[in-house]
Amino acid sequence: MDTNPETFESVIAGPQGSGLAPSDGPLLLSLRGISKSFGAVQALRHVDLDVPAGQVTAIIGDNGAGKSTLIKTISGIWAQSSGQILWKGQEVHIHTPRDASNLGIATVYQDLSLCDNLDIVQNMYLGRETTKKGLLNEIEMEIATRKTLSDLSVSTVKSVRQLVGSLSGGQRQAVAVARAVMRESELVILDEPTAALGVSQTAQVLELIHTLKSHGLAVIVISHNLSDVFAVADRIAVMYLGTLVHEGPISQYDTASAVELITTGRSSRVPNTVATSV
pLDDT value of residue 2: 44
**CATH number of the domain to which 260 belongs:** 3.40.50.300
Crossing angle for the helix pair 138-151 and 169-182, to the nearest 10 degrees: 110
pLDDT tens digits along 147-192: 999 988 888 898 999 999 999 988 999 999 999 888 789 999 999 9
Cα distances (angstroms) measured from residue 106 to each of 79, 124, 125, 191, 234: 16, 13, 15, 11, 20
**Which helix (H) or strand (E) element contains residue 221?**
strand 218-222
Whether 69 is covered by a domain: the verdict is: yes
Q: Is residue 18 part of a domain?
A: no
Asked if residue 269 is part of any domain, the answer here is no
Say whether pLDDT at 119 is over 50.
yes
Report the sign of the C-alpha dihedral through residues 71, 73, 75, 77, in that order.
positive
pLDDT mean over 215-219: 95
Range of the domain at 30: 25-264
Burial class (CB in 10 A: 0-12, 13-18, 19+), 118: middle
Res 16: pLDDT: 33
Report the mean per-residue pLDDT for the chain.
88
% pLDDT > 70, the chain? 88
Please tell me whether the overall predicted TM-score, pTM, comes out greater than 0.75 for this model. Answer: yes
- Which residues are CB-contacts of 216 (< 8 A; sequence separation ≥ 6)? 9, 10, 11, 12, 53, 54
Total structural domains in the chain? 1
Confirm whether 83 is domain-assigned. Answer: yes
Residues 223, 58: contact at Cβ < 8 Å?
Answer: yes
